[in-house]
Amino acid sequence: MRISLSNTQEGRTYRYDAEFTDEDVGSLLDSTLAEPMRVSVSYTTVEGITYLRVKTEGKVDACCDMCGVACTADCGCVVDEELTRDSQCYDALRDEYVLDGIIDEAVALSAPRTVLCKPDCKGLCPICGQNRNHGNCNCQQNQPRIGENNPFGVLQDIFPTGGANNGSTKM
């Protein structure tokens, strides 16, 4: 996408909306899009500075970080930039901004940081691998105590619960 400065009116806000498919952004994301990604670009030029906003929204097919179950996750971000004729994306020969790099950056930043199948996912048992969302196992109850010769044995008395409740560290 390009913004021609010769066709831009001072103080007026312009908007461009598009939908991208996997073919358009597949190399920028580590996931497959579950639906087309919506990209909205808006900009306003005031006193020689172009204020640009790129907003992305969509859904990706992913696997839960806690239990590994396939799920769909929201993705999106907002990138705000102030562009001047000194900006890297400015093309002096054509008196325009080339926004492809900024849009690609916004798409790449859209990838979800954490994916959960549900907000209270319990994860997998670290001993037997059972999905704790489907039921409990007896591994923790049958786990022997760490011997006295182990320097980490004292930790089981400090943390008698055995780890996390959310499945990440069994506390």
Q: What is the mean pLDDT of residues 100-113?
A: 92
Q: Looking at residues 101-106, what average pLDDT do you find?
A: 94
Q: Are 130 and 124 in contact (CB under 8 A)?
A: yes
**According to the model, what pLDDT value does residue 34 have?**
92
The amino acid present at 35, given as its one-letter code, is E
pLDDT tens for 142-162 read 666 666 666 666 666 665 555
CA distance 123 to 163: 13
Contact in structure between 135 and 43 (CB atoms under 8 Å): no
pTM of the predicted model, to two decimals? Answer: 0.73
